[in-house]
Amino acid sequence: MRTTSIATLALAGIALAGCGTLSPSSATSSASRGVEQVNSGLGSALQAPLEDLNLVRQEIPAVLNEAAAAPYSVQGMGTCSAIAAEIGRLDEALGSDLDAAASTEEADIGDKAADAAADATLDAVRSTVTDFIPARSWVRRLTGADRHSKEVQAAVRAGLQRRAFLKGIGQQKNCAPPAAPAGYQRH
């Protein structure tokens, strides 16, 4: 596919350009990782028009629907292990929490350049394929895709609130992370 080839070449060039102070093997590894990111995300980017027409919908994970229904419920959260398990479910649906990023090893400049180039490439592909839909915003409203997108965003916000709330409850109960914020020292 021509788009894949162009995206791959653009990504490799940008990633390698940002790797001037890295060893050649590190730069190649970063570029390869970026190319893999583009290849894995390309299908989703090309699927964007189908989402606009509401033919394909992003599923909302059950844990986020539960969070939207009762973000501050403490039912079943009497133990640190129950809190940690619920936070684990939320992490699986939402990705790592902000406090987890501080505890992970910082990525090198080549990896950061590869990530940025991959994101830019996928954004360009997504933008290009959605530009073919005339009056896109109206199409999204009429098909219900806009409403569904807002439901997904609301569920994500509720999940983020619930995770933060549960970490606060865990800290109050003197639980160890992940049932409390990363870096919390039990007393």
Q: Are 161 and 70 in contact (CB under 8 A)?
A: no
Cα–Cα distances in angstroms (integers) from residue 30 to residues 6, 16, 104, 117, in the given order: 18, 8, 18, 11
pLDDT at 131 over 80: no
Average pLDDT, rounded, for the chain: 75
Tokens matching residue 47: 């699927």
- Could you report the per-residue pLDDT of 73-104, keeping only the tens digit for each? 999 999 999 999 999 999 999 998 888 764 44
Scan for tokens 């989402």, then name that residue: 51
Examine residue 185 and state whether it is found in any structural domain, yes or no.
Answer: no
Examine residue 150 and state whether it is found in any structural domain, yes or no.
Answer: yes
Examine residue 179 and state whether it is found in any structural domain, yes or no.
Answer: no
Structural domain containing residue 48: 2-172
Examine residue 178 and state whether it is found in any structural domain, yes or no.
Answer: no
Percentage of residues in the chain having pLDDT higher than 70: 56
CA Rg value for the chain: 21
Model pLDDT, residue 19: 47
Cα–Cα distances in angstroms (integers) from residue 15 to residues 87, 107, 120, in the given order: 35, 14, 12
Examine residue 69 and state whether it is found in any structural domain, yes or no.
Answer: yes
Model pLDDT, residue 148: 84
Examine residue 177 and state whether it is found in any structural domain, yes or no.
Answer: no
Examine residue 28 and state whether it is found in any structural domain, yes or no.
Answer: yes
Rounded distance, CA 162 to CA 63, Å? 10
Model pLDDT, residue 135: 72
pLDDT band at 16; cut points 50, 70, 90:
very low
Domains held by the chain: number: 1
Examine residue 95 and state whether it is found in any structural domain, yes or no.
Answer: yes
DSSP H helical segments within the chain, as ranges? Answer: 2-17, 24-46, 48-52, 62-69, 80-94, 98-103, 109-130, 136-143, 145-172
DSSP string spanning 112-161? HHHHHHHHHHHHHHHHHHHTTSTTHHHHHHHHTHHHHHHHHHHHHHHHHH
- Could you report the per-residue pLDDT of 105-114, keeping only the tens digit for each? 455 676 677 7
Model pLDDT, residue 132: 61
**Nearest-CA neighbor of 68 among 145, 136, 151, 131?**
151
